Amino acid sequence: MEKRMLLDREARRGYAFVAPGLLMMALLVIYPIFSVIQLSFSGSTTGADFVGFDNYLRVVQNPNFFRIMRNTAIWTVGNVAGAFMLGTGAALLLNQSFILAKSAWRTVIMLSWITPNVVQGIMWRCLYSSDFGMVNQLLQSLGLIKAPLPWLSSLQLTLPAVMLVQVWQTIPFVMTMMYAGAQSIPRDLYEVANLEGANAWARLRHITLPLLKDVCFICLLMLIIWSLNGFTLIWVMTQGGPAGSTEILALSIYEKFRSFNFNGAAATSVLQLLVSLLFAVLYIRRSGREED
């Protein structure tokens, strides 16, 4: 009896501490989701008139829809692959025992991640300028290109150019996570491997990489979610242009919103929500397992 009372008191206290924040969050998250779904099936901003799947049909049948989905896919896959490979490479380089001043390297590299998104966008827009930009200047002086390239006004070049900036800003995240993971691997494992005559490649292949599996998973999912949700960088640099060549799902919601097509924007939002949820659920399931 005594013990039961104690448990109940513990639970009561727990709920009391958690409740305000949780209610706040529920209000901020569950209400918008519910509301956006309602709007997506409605013909007005009050969510009153039910129109079935009309808004969805209009979104999907729009001739631009395929291009937007393709851009979203290219943007996401390219960003994730680029940032993951370069970031992991950087972490493994930094993890080598002979590298001095490790935290200094890390701090300096982190600067590109820490700079506000808007600043990153504005800065790269100028760097990519075809006449006075440093990118063209650098490539020309290295002899890699003959004439200045129109980085942000070309149907082919602009998406990759913006992707490079997204990769540029997320490399430090991957590097930091992977480096922290690699540092937490016990040294003894490597010593044993050395005694057994394993070379550097074998140590990487059989110790470092397998033990970094969980961190890799987290990094990849975060990169995917960031890319899918990514907005600011593209908006500041190109506003989705030229001719929609950098328009991804998140930008098309914003465009519809700006032209007061709230219901179309809501239907597009639900599509984006479904895509993001898929990866968020994967992430949560993995985090949940780690916690247990």
Subset of residues 163 to 192 that bind another protein, contact rule: CB under 8 A: 168, 171-173, 176-177, 180
**Alpha helical stretches, state H, the chain:** 2-40, 54-61, 65-94, 102-114, 117-127, 134-141, 158-183, 187-195, 200-203, 209-211, 213-229, 232-237, 249-258, 262-291
121 near another protein (CB under 8 A): yes
Applying CB under 8 A, among 64, 115, 194, 259 the residue interacting with another protein is 115
Question: In this structure, are residues 117 and 123 in contact, taking their beta carbons and an 8 Å threshold?
Answer: no
Residue 271: name the closest of 36, 13, 29, 14 by CA. Answer: 36
71 near another protein, rule: CB under 8 A: no
Binding residue for another protein (CB under 8 A) from 160, 203, 218, 244? Answer: 218
Q: Does 21 interact with another protein (rule: CB under 8 A)? A: yes
Size of the site for another protein (CB under 8 A): 96
Binding another protein by CB under 8 A: which of 59, 80, 83, 90?
90
Nearer to another protein, 1 or 100 (CB): 100
Stretch that binds another protein, among 54-62, 69-77, 122-130, 152-160 (CB under 8 A): 122-130
Select from 78, 232, 241, 244 the one that contacts another protein (CB under 8 A).
Answer: 232
Beta bridge partners of 50: 42
Contact call for residue 85 and another protein (CB under 8 A): no
83 to 6, 66, 95, 162: CA distances (angstroms): 50, 26, 18, 13
- Would you tell me how many other CB atoms lie within 10 Å of the CB of residue 219? 25
Residue 58 binds another protein, judged by CB under 8 A: no
Q: Which positions from 259 through 288 interact with another protein, judged by CB under 8 A?
A: 262, 265-266, 269-270, 272-273, 276, 279-281, 283-284, 287-288
Candidates 41, 56, 75, 254: give the one binding another protein (CB under 8 A).
Answer: 254
Instruction: Rank residues 22 and 155 by Cβ distance to another protein and give the closer one.
Output: 22
* Closest residue by Cα to residue 62 from 285, 280, 247, 289: 247
Burial grade of 110 (CB within 10 A; 0-12, 13-18, 19 or more): middle
Structure tokens at 78: 């390219």
